[in-house]
C-alpha cells in the first residue's frame, strides 16, 4: 500500500503526479475506477482485481435529489449500488428496469484498509481544498476572500496548506497559491488507483480540513477522523453550455434537498478541533455506514452482480 513517505515524495513533482495512470483500470463502466475506489473494494473483498464490478456506484457524495447522472442511468447494468439514502426513491423512479441496492460509500472500505502514520497529537495546521473544476465545469470563488478567512483561523489551525485537484493544476491554479506564499499538494490524477490513499495520507497530517463548497471532502474527512470546516466563501459551479450531466433538465434540488444543504452548512460552519456526535451521525447516515460489509459478504455481492449481469445479457439476446 502507498505510504506516507511515498505520498510526500510524490509532492516534489505535482505536474508529473497529475499525469493519467492506466494501470488497474478494468471496469466496464470506467467511472467506477475513478479515484481508485473499485480497486480498493475488490482488494478488500478478495475479488479478482482484473474483473469488473457489474453495477454502477457514485464516485463521490451526490447532493442532488431531483436529478441522476445520465451516464450512470444509461450504463449497461441491471443493478445500481446506491447512496446517499435520500436518492433511492429518485433512482427507483428514474431507472424503472434496474434494481436499486442501498450500499455503503466506498470510502468506508478504503478506511478499512488504510493505516494513518500520523498520530492526532502530531497533526498541524489546515489543509484547504478548493471546490475543483473539470473540463466541463468551471468553479468561481473569491480566492483572496477565502484566503483572508483562512488566515483569520485560530493559531491552532495554522499554517495553511492548499490541496488542489489535478485539473486545477493543469489550469495553473497552483501558481496563484504559490505566489501567495502557500505550499501546494495534490492527491494525483483521478485514474491513479492510489489516489484515495494519497488523499487520506495528506489529510491525516492536519488538524482541520477546509473546503469552499459542498462535496465529498466533508464526508471523507469526518470518516477519517479529521475535523471539517465549510468556509463562508462559497464556490459557484458554472457548467459549460454543452454539458449535459443529468437525466433531465430541471432544478437539481427539492425543498427538502435544499434543507439538507442548509443543515450541512449549519453543522460545519465553525472550525472545531474535535468532531461532534451530530457531525458523525450525519456523515454515517449519508454514507450508509450501517451497510458496510465484511470482505466475504462484499465478495458475494460482487459475484451476484456478475451473475445478474450475465443473466440479463442472455435474456436480452433472446
Q: Which residue in the block uniquely carries the three cell numbers 445479457?
A: 313
End-to-end CA distance of the chain: 45
Distance CA 204, CA 102 (A): 29
Distance CA 212, CA 103 (A): 27
**pLDDT computed for residue 135 by the predictor:** 77
Among candidate residues 1, 48, 53, the one with its CA nearest the CA of residue 27: 53
**pLDDT computed for residue 131 by the predictor:** 87
Cell of 20: 493519467
- Give the residues of the chain that fall short of pLDDT 50: none
Distance CA 257, CA 142 (A): 26
**pLDDT computed for residue 80 by the predictor:** 98
Q: What is the side-by-side strand order in the sheet with 208-211?
A: 183-185, 160-163, 126-129, 208-211, 228-230
Distance CA 28, CA 11 (A): 31
Q: Which residues contact 214 (CB under 8 A, 6 or more apart)?
A: 63, 230, 261, 264
Cβ–Cβ under 8 Å, residues 163 and 185: yes
Q: What are the angstrom distances between the C-alpha of 169 and each of 142, 178, 180?
A: 18, 12, 15
Distance CA 73, CA 247 (A): 8
- Evaluate the CA torsion angle 78, 83, 88, 91 in order and state its sign: negative
Question: What values do phi and psi take at 210, rounded to 5?
Answer: -120, 150
**pLDDT computed for residue 183 by the predictor:** 98
**pLDDT computed for residue 237 by the predictor:** 80
Q: Is 302 helix (H, G, I), strand (E, B) or coil?
A: helix
Cβ–Cβ under 8 Å, residues 35 and 165: no
Distance CA 272, CA 62 (A): 25
Distance CA 17, CA 26 (A): 21
Among candidate residues 11, 14, 15, 28, the one with its CA nearest the CA of residue 312: 28
**pLDDT computed for residue 77 by the predictor:** 98
Amino acid at each position: 500500500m502507498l505510504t506516507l513517505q511515498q505520498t510526500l515524495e510524490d509532492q516534489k513533482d505535482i505536474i508529473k503526479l497529475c499525469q493519467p495512470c492506466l494501470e488497474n483500470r478494468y471496469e466496464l463502466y470506467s467511472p467506477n475506477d475513478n479515484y481508485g475506489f473499485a480497486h480498493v473494494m475488490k482488494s478488500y473483498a478478495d475479488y479478482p482485481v482484473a474483473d469488473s464490478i457489474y453495477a454502477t456506484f457514485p464516485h463521490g457524495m451526490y447532493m442532488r435529489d431531483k436529478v441522476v447522472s445520465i451516464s450512470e442511468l444509461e450504463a449497461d447494468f441491471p443493478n445500481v449500488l446506491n447512496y446517499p439514502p435520500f436518492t433511492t426513491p429518485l433512482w427507483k423512479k428514474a431507472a424503472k428496469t434496474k434494481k436499486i441496492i442501498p450500499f455503503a460509500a466506498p470510502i468506508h472500505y478504503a478506511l478499512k484498509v488504510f493505516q494513518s502514520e500520523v498520530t492526532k497529537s502530531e497533526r498541524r495546521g489546515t489543509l484547504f481544498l478548493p471546490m475543483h473544476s473539470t473540463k466541463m465545469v468551471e468553479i468561481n470563488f473569491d480566492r483572496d476572500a477565502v484566503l483572508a478567512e483562512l488566515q483569520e483561523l485560530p493559531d491552532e489551525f495554522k499554517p495553511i496548506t492548499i490541496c488542489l485537484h489535478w485539473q486545477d493544476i493543469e489550469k495553473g491554479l497552483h501558481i496563484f497559491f504559490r505566489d501567495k506564499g502557500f505550499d501546494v499538494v495534490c492527491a494525483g490524477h483521478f485514474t491513479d488507483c492510489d489516489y484515495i490513499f494519497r488523499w487520506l495520507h495528506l489529510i491525516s497530517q492536519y488538524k482541520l480540513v477546509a473546503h469552499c463548497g459542498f462535496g465529498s471532502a466533508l464526508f471523507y474527512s469526518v470518516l477519517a477522523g479529521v475535523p471539517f470546516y465549510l468556509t463562508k466563501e462559497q464556490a459557484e459551479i458554472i457548467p459549460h453550455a454543452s454539458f449535459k450531466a443529468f437525466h433531465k433538465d430541471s432544478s437539481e434540488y427539492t425543498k427538502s434537498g435544499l434543507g439538507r444543504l442548509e443543515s450541512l452548512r449549519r453543522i460545519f460552519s465553525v472550525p472545531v478541533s474535535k468532531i461532534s456526535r451530530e457531525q458523525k451521525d450525519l456523515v454515517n447516515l449519508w454514507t450508509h455506514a450501517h451497510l458496510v460489509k465484511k470482505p466475504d459478504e462484499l465478495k458475494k455481492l460482487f459475484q451476484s452482480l456478475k451473475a445478474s449481469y450475465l443473466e440479463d445479457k442472455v435474456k436480452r439476446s433472446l
